[in-house]
Amino acid sequence: GQQVMQIPQYQHVQEGEDFTTYCNSSTTLSNIQWYKQRPGGHPVFLIQLVKSGEVKKQKRLTFQFGEAKKNSSLHITATQTTDVGTYFCAAPSGGSYIPTFGRGTSLIVHP
Amino acid sequence: DAGVIQSPRHEVTEMGQEVTLRCKPISGHDYLFWYRQTMMRGLELLIYFNNNVPIDDSGMPEDRFSAKMPNASFSTLKIQPSEPRDSAVYFCAIRQGGETQYFGPGTRLLVL
């Protein structure tokens, strides 16, 4: 079935550097969600994107949905140690309206 | 958090033993999901319920796994018999009408 491919798998950054994770699909997505999971924690919903070309911001986090609705990105400006965790995208797969999760990108921030 | 209670939070058992994981969601949800998370396979959807009815259990790895939802406030995931490769974090999640899923804290299972 349809899957969302997420890259990179891991990203090490120095505190203060920017970070971006990408989700790509071979088919058009109806919507895409982003979740964050802290080490030892559970996934927590961050945001949902629905419209083509949509851009949403949450403080230092910027979420984008591609014009073709086949890709999405999460960008963090000036990372902090509190940003450490795994960021997942999730999107409905095939004919289902139930989202399938990507493999996630683990962000490691070095102080 | 939407209020999903999972128990136990940690479980250590021996191979061959039966394991029962529990989920108590708050009221007002329409869907309930069970996920398994491992380093190797990531976050996998095992089964989900809509209004307490199992809709898709294609993610359940084997017949050793079973799940029930006798009412809107309770669901169980059972593994019988358990095997070391079942070691993982098991999450219960709910949806409350919209698209967002709210996850419980998870049960960390170790099968020796």
Q: Does A62 touch chain B (CB under 8 A)?
A: no
Which of A33, A42, A99 has the CB atom closest to B103's CB atom? A42
What is the tens place of the pLDDT at every residue in A50-94? 999 999 999 999 999 999 999 999 999 999 999 999 999 999 877
pLDDT at position B27: 76
Can you tell me the distance from the alpha carbon of B104 to that of A44, in angstroms, rounded to the nearest whole number?
Answer: 9
Contacts of B13 (CB under 8 A, 6+ apart): B19, B82, B109, B110, B111, B112
CA pair distance A97, A83, nearest whole angstrom: 29
**Percent with pLDDT over 90 in chain A:** 88
What is the structure's pLDDT at A1?
Answer: 46
Chain B environment of A36 (Cβ under 8 Å): none
CB contact under 8 A, A43 and B91: yes
Neighbouring-strand partners of residue B34:
B47, B92
Q: How far are the Cα atoms of B13, B45, B55 from residue A96, in angstroms, in the given order?
A: 35, 13, 11
CA distance B48 to chain A (A): 9
Instruction: Answer whether A37's CB lies under 8 Å from A13's CB.
Output: no
Strand duo B65-71 + A19-24: pairing? unpaired
Judging contacts by C-beta atoms under 8 Å, the chain B residues touching residue A98 are 31, 33, 45, 48, 56
State which of B49-53, B55-59, B88-92 shows the largest mean pLDDT.
B88-92
Cβ atoms of B103 and B4 within 8 Å: the answer is yes
Question: To 10 degrees, the CA torsion angle through A89, A93, A51, A75?
Answer: 20
Q: Which chain B residue shows the shortest CA-CA distance from A36? A: B103
Residues across chain A:
111
Closest CA to B95 of B55, B60, B38, B66: B55
Would you say residue B44 has pLDDT above 90? Answer: yes
Token pair, residue B112, equals: 């020796």
DSSP A26: S
- Which pair of structure tokens corresponds to residue A49? 């994107």
Mutate to test the interface with B, among A36, A88, A98, A103 (most CBs of B within 10 A): A98
Neighbouring-strand partners of residue A57: A62
So what's the pLDDT on residue A58?
Answer: 97
Distance between CA atoms of B66 and B47, rounded to whole angstroms?
A: 9
